[in-house]
Structure formats: structure tokens, C-alpha cells
Amino acid sequence: MKIKEGRVCVGELPVAEIKKKLVTDGLRIKIGPFNTSLNSSINSVFQHVKELYSAFPLVKEDEIIDFYVRLEPTSSLRRWVRPQVNFSFDGYHPFLPLPLIQAGAMFEWGLNWCIANYSHQYLIVHAAVIEYKGHAFIFPGSPGSGKSTLCAALAENGWRLLSDEMGLISLLDYQLYPVPRPISLKNESIEVIQKYSRNAVFGQTFLDTAKGTLSHLRPSNEAVYQKDISAKASKIIFPKYKKNSNTDLKPITKASTLLQLADNTFNYSVLGKTGFDTLTEVVDNADCYEFTYSNLIEAIEKMDYLCD
């Protein structure tokens, strides 16, 4: 499939060109609504981008960059003993350095940080968002709730990925805007998805991160190409993975959904009343559930059923 607007994508550039851009002016990638310029001389960052971002379009010369980000090895003697990597957003270092081998993962975390702190044109919900036949499902959830696993399985099953970490709700039209990026899977979920879909493409495996073992699932090209197509929230579902449990979908009240969702929103207090109004509008127009599951096949069937 060719990209709209006649944009060149990362994968169409010669490998040497990608490398050159990463170390000089920055590789300018369109990631959902965000224009990102990435600088790094680290080889694993180059690998990360090449494996997971090849379908992503490039930003043109005459467009504003939202986030100038850089990943570089720390410049001390530690380079030789226990090498580390620093993330910076236009010269500002929001985090302490991490082990160098986690550079690719740090790019994803750093970008999450940029989006959460500098994109208040959206209400930003900590949630996976996925769409099928025009129904967008929001899966808010704390780590370990199984939202990413469910989201990855649905994405491998033909659903369109809007986001794995952050649901962007526009303050203007209350629609969900996609920011399709690699889905971050942790520990057992990696194997679960590898078994679930033979076509799943993964990036590097990061061992011993703060969140355990971590690997990123490459989003489908279609999801990346449809980055400008928003969707209306139709269901808000709080997933809960519970070992050996039955698949159980239970409606919950709008009031409780609103409170739980506000708790899972990055910029709720920054937006004040606008944040409250937006959240109310979204919750009012969606069906709300709690969803307990352990069997992924049954879980997907249940979600498919909700779309009919």
C-alpha cells in the first residue's frame, strides 16, 4: 500500500541514509500527530527504528518538529565499565541514565514522556485504544492488567491499533486520535502473543528493565497509514487478567467509570474543567464494562461479539 500525501517512509530510505540522518540532522519521523526528530549514534537505536518504524512516514522539511529527542551514551569513564544511555528532549534530561542496552526501550519511554507533558490539546488517557468496524474500544489499565496483551492480540486479529499506551481524546471533537506505535509487551505476554500469531514481528528483547523483560510488537502497516483517521469511543473496558478465571464481561456504572478513568489520565488536573467536560462527554456516549479473562481466544471472541 502506498502512503497518502506522497510521503516517503523510513523503510524506503537506504540504510546508510537512515544512519546518516540519525547521527547528523536527525531522522524526522511522523508518529501519529507528532513530528519527531531523533538523533542517536547508538547502533541498537538504529536497529530499533529499522525493525519497528520502517512503515512510518517522514516529516517534510517545511513542517514544524514537535519533539527533538536524542539518545546518547553518557560521556564519562563509565562508557568502558558499565555503559549507559541518556535521553534528552531538546537539551533537557528528564530521566536518570539507563544501561546502554536499553536504549531502544528508552526511546519509547522518552517519547511517552514528551507526549504526556506537552500535548494538552488532548486529554491523554493511560490506555490501549483499538478499533473495529468504526467502534473504538478504550482499555484503560494499570501495568499487569493485561491491556497490552489484549490489545496486541486484537491488533494481530485484524483490529486497527490506535494506541497501546496513551489514548488521545481531542478537546474539540471528543474523538480518539491515533498514535500508532510499537506495542510494548512484558514478560509472559511476549510468548503468549508469539504463540497467538505466527505473523507477529518483534524488535529486540530487553532484559532486566524496570518492568522486567520487554519487547515491542511492530504495528501493522495499515494502522500506521491510517494515523490521521480518528474514531469515536464506543466502549470503555477495564481489563483484568486473572489466572484460571472465566471470561466475564460485567457492565459498570458511568459514575464509577468516570472516576477510574480520571485516575488513569495523565493531564486531568492540568486541563481542569475542560478535562472533566471532555471525560464526561466520552463516558456518556460509551458502554462501560469490567472484563476478567485468562483465555485469550475466548477474550477475543467476546470483543468481536461486542462489535456486532
Partner 1 sequence: MINFEQPLITFLRSVNHNQTGQFVYNVEFTELLIRQARRANLLARVAFLLKELELFHKLPKKGRDHLQNALTVALANERSVNVEIREIYKLLSRQRVPIIILKGSAYIWASKSASKGRVFADVDIMVLKKDIDLAEKIFAQHGWLPSKAFDCYYQKYYRTWMHEIPPLKHKRRGTELDVHHTIIPPTSKLKPDPNEFWTEAQLISEFPGLMVLSSVDMILHSATHLFHEGEFDNGLRDISDLDLLLSETMENDADWEGLIKRAKKLGLCRPLFYALRYTSIFLKTPVPEKIIRKINCYSPGFLGERIMDCLMLRALMPNHSSCDDLWTGLARWLLYIRSHWLRMPLYLLVPHLLRKSWMRLTGKSLD
- The residue among 119 and 230 lying less far from partner 1, judged by its C-beta, is 119
- The residue among 69 and 286 lying less far from partner 1, judged by its C-beta, is 69
Which of the ranges 3-11, 84-92, 96-104, 218-226 carries the binding residues for partner 1, by CB under 8 A?
84-92
Task: Identify which of 222, 207, 221 has the alpha carbon closest to the alpha carbon of residue 104.
Answer: 207
Q: Applying CB under 8 A, which of residues 119, 204, 215, 220 lies at the interface with partner 1?
A: 119
Q: Binding to partner 1 (CB under 8 A): which residues in 22-41?
A: 35
Which of the ranges 3-11, 100-108, 257-265, 267-275 carries the binding residues for partner 1, by CB under 8 A?
267-275
C-alpha–C-alpha distance, residues 30 and 60, integer Å: 9
CB 200 within 8 A of CB 183: no
Which of the ranges 16-24, 107-115, 150-158, 268-276 carries the binding residues for partner 1, by CB under 8 A?
268-276
Q: Are strands 233-241 and 135-140 parallel, antiparallel or unpaired?
A: parallel
C-alpha–C-alpha distance, residues 225 and 262, integer Å: 30
Task: Identify which of 58, 37, 21, 239 has the alpha carbon closest to the alpha carbon of residue 149.
Answer: 239
Q: Applying CB under 8 A, which of residues 134, 144, 158, 272 lies at the interface with partner 1?
A: 272
* Cα angle 285, 130, 268; round to 5: 60
Q: Applying CB under 8 A, which of residues 17, 20, 79, 118 lies at the interface with partner 1?
A: 118
In this structure, the chain runs to a length of: 308
3-state helix, strand, coil in the chain (%, to 5): 35, 30, 30
Please tell me the count of residues contacting partner 1 according to CB under 8 A: 18
Please state, in angstroms and as integers, the Cα–Cα distance from residue 133 to each residue in 77, 234, 268, 307, 308, following that order: 55, 11, 29, 7, 9
Three cell numbers, residue 57: 512516514
Least distance from partner 1 to the Cβ atom of residue 297, Å:
42
Least distance from partner 1 to the Cβ atom of residue 163, Å:
18
Least distance from partner 1 to the Cβ atom of residue 39, Å:
11
271 forms part of the interface with partner 1 (CB under 8 A): yes
Least distance from partner 1 to the Cβ atom of residue 121, Å:
5
CA dihedral 143, 149, 152, 157 (to 10 degrees): -150
- The residue among 5 and 308 lying less far from partner 1, judged by its C-beta, is 5
Q: Which residues bind partner 1 (CB under 8 A)?
A: 35, 62-66, 68, 90-92, 118-121, 269-272
